[in-house]
Amino acid sequence: MGYDVAKDPGRVRRQIGVVFQEQSIDIKLSAEENLMLIGNVYGLHGTALRSRVAEMLARVGLTDRAKERAETFSGGMKRRLELAKGLLHHPSVLLLDEPTTGLDPGARRDLWQYLHMLRNEEHVSVLVTTHLMEEAERCDRLAIYAEGNVVARGTPAELKSEIGGDVILLEANDPNMLAQHIERRFGVPAAVIAGRVRLEIEQGHRFVTDVVEAFPGEIEGVSVHKPSLEDVFIRRTGHRFWTEQEQKN
Cα dihedral 178/184/187/193 (nearest 10): 30
200, 231 in Cβ contact below 8 A?
yes
| CA–CA dist 42, 39 (Å, integer) | 5
What is the pTM for the complete model shown? 0.73
Residue among 203, 204, 239 nearest 222 (CA): 204
Q: Residue 243's pLDDT is what?
A: 47
CATH number for the 9-129 domain, one of 3.30.70.141, 3.40.50.1860, 3.40.50.1000, 3.40.50.300?
Answer: 3.40.50.300
End-to-end CA distance of the chain: 40
- For residue 240, what pLDDT is reported? 56
CATH class of 159-248: alpha beta
d(CA 128, CA 51): 28
Q: Kindly list the domain boundaries of the chain, sorted by start residue.
A: 9-129, 159-248
- Closest among 216, 228, 214 to 169, alpha carbons compared: 228
CA nearest neighbour of 80 among 62, 93, 55? 62
**Spans of the chain below 70 pLDDT:** 239-249
Q: What is the per-residue pLDDT across 206-242, written as a single tens digit (0 to 9) for each?
A: 899 999 999 888 899 999 988 888 888 888 887 655 4
* CB count in 10 Å sphere of residue 246: 12
Equal fold, 9-129 vs 159-248: no
pLDDT in tens, 63-98: 999 999 999 998 888 988 998 999 999 899 999 998
Within 60-161, residue ranges assigned H as helices are 75-87, 105-121, 133-136, 156-161
